[in-house]
Amino acid sequence: MTKIIIAQRISSVMDADRILVLENGTVHGFGSHEELLGTDEIYTEIYETQTSGGGDFDEAARADADYRDEEFDRRGGENL
């Protein structure tokens, strides 16, 4: 199954097989979370910003992202 997720939070997409990074409508990076951390400065900067100082990567945010993914799958791809 293919899912397209548009997100600002890396914690929402970091487990995806492939992530597309856009800047001003132009493809800036494409790859897995690990690949982008090593090759894409925009992705890396966002990741570092969100992970420093208790940013987006707390347990509550992760649980919320997991719940949304499960609901999306349960609804056959229909948004919440």
- pTM value? 0.65
pLDDT at 3: 85
Which position has the higher pLDDT, 1 or 68? 1
Which residues lie across from 26 on neighbouring strands? 23
51 domain residue, yes or no: yes
Would residue 1 count as lying in a domain? no
Question: For residue 7, is it within any domain?
Answer: no
Find, among 29, 75, 24, the residue nearest to 10 by Cα: 29
Q: Is the dihedral of CA 12, 15, 21, 27 positive or negative?
A: negative
Q: Is residue 3 part of a domain?
A: no
Q: Is residue 79 part of a domain?
A: no
Question: Which two structure tokens, joined as six digits, stand for 49?
Answer: 């910003």
Q: How many structural domains comprise the chain?
A: 1
- Residue for token pair 């997409």: 13
For residue 31, is it within any domain?
A: yes
Per residue in 10-62, pLDDT tens? 988 999 999 999 999 999 999 999 999 999 999 999 999 888 865 555 555 66
Judge whether 53 lies within some domain: yes
Q: What pLDDT is stored for residue 57 in this prediction? A: 59
Can you give the residue range of the structural domain that contains 32? 13-74
